[in-house]
Structure 1
Amino acid sequence: MIDVFSVTVRDHMMIAHSFRGEVFGPAQRLHGATYVVDAAFRRAELDADNLVVDIGLASQQLNDVLGQFTYRNLDDEAEFAGVNTSTEALAKVIADRLAERVHAGALGEGARGLAGIAVTLHESHIAWASYERSL
């Protein structure tokens, strides 16, 4: 087992989208989704303040990233043209945007020691998808 500390913050987003492909059945039509989103920040050793990451900054940055999608039809967004915005794909986009913010210092200098981020989008109480990446 690998020894790792983690801190997870939670928020939510409401989007609309549709899918292309028979595998998606009725979800090929425009529909809405409300996701509960967890972002877990991980590291092997705590920072100088004995923290994984500042929870307030992590919450703020997650909220800012999700704000880019909330109340939008992702089919209308240029960056998603021709892309099936599956739960899995959205988890990766959110994790990558959080990683950019870590590297830019938006989560504080102590966050530069983070080893990874895992983002989980909960579609419902019985289904969710995650993406985990290194920093």
Structure 2
Amino acid sequence: MFSVTVRDHIMIAHSFRGEVFGPAQKLHGATFVVDATFRRPELDDDGIVVDIGRAIDELKAVLADLTYRNLDDEPAFAGQNTTTEVLCRAIADRLADRVHAGGLGAGARELAGITVTLHESHIAWASYERSL
């Protein structure tokens, strides 16, 4: 399996419900480094997994809808704790929608999957992997 990964970041605010979250139950900020990995079993006719420039642009567009926002106020996350894992899935699903809409070009329709990893720090991160 071949893969290409692009990187960006988001800065958000949110709070959590549930004793397990301790002090994070209060409103707080978080900055995540975001990696989006695109996978396919064979390279396209141009010898690539996906156009890296388009992948960067699409990740940036997806993250623009999240960054500098209080996710507690976002209708898409109503009733959910916006944990790192939940955010990984939301970003992966939004990228998948852009792949299906042609935002990464016709060759990207042959992608097998996407993995999104959010790095909370240099020692902790979470990922979500989905098929396309």
What is the TM-score when the length of structure 2 is the normalising length?
0.99
Query: Aligned pair 1:38/2:35, yes or no?
Result: yes
Question: What's the counterpart of residue 81 of structure 1?
Answer: 78
Query: Aligned pair 1:14/2:11, yes or no?
Result: yes
How far 1:81 moved relative to its partner? Answer: 1.3
**Superposition RMSD in Å:** 0.4
Question: What's the counterpart of residue 94 of structure 1?
Answer: 91
Q: Which moved more, 1:113-122 or 1:78-87?
A: 78-87
Structure 2: tracts of 5 or more residues without a match: none
Question: What's the counterpart of residue 104 of structure 1?
Answer: 101
Alignment match of 1:27 (pick from 24, 27, 35): 24
Alignment match of 2:67 (pick from 44, 66, 70): 70
Cα distance in 2, alignment partners of residues 89 and 76 from structure 1: 16
What is the TM-score when the length of structure 1 is the normalising length?
0.97
**Moved >6 Å (runs of 4+):** none
Question: What's the counterpart of residue 51 of structure 1?
Answer: 48
Alpha-carbon deviations, 1:54-92, whole Å to 9, x = none?
Answer: 000000000000000000000011111111000000000
Structure 1: tracts of 5 or more residues without a match: none
Amino acid at match of 1:86: T
Cα distance in 1, alignment partners of residues 72 and 99 from structure 2: 28
Cα distance in 2, alignment partners of residues 63 and 15 from structure 1: 15
Amino acid at match of 2:114: I
Cα distance in 2, alignment partners of residues 93 and 119 from structure 1: 9
Question: What's the counterpart of residue 121 of structure 2?
Answer: 124
Cα distance in 2, alignment partners of residues 67 and 80 from structure 1: 16
Cα distance in 2, alignment partners of residues 81 and 100 from structure 1: 20
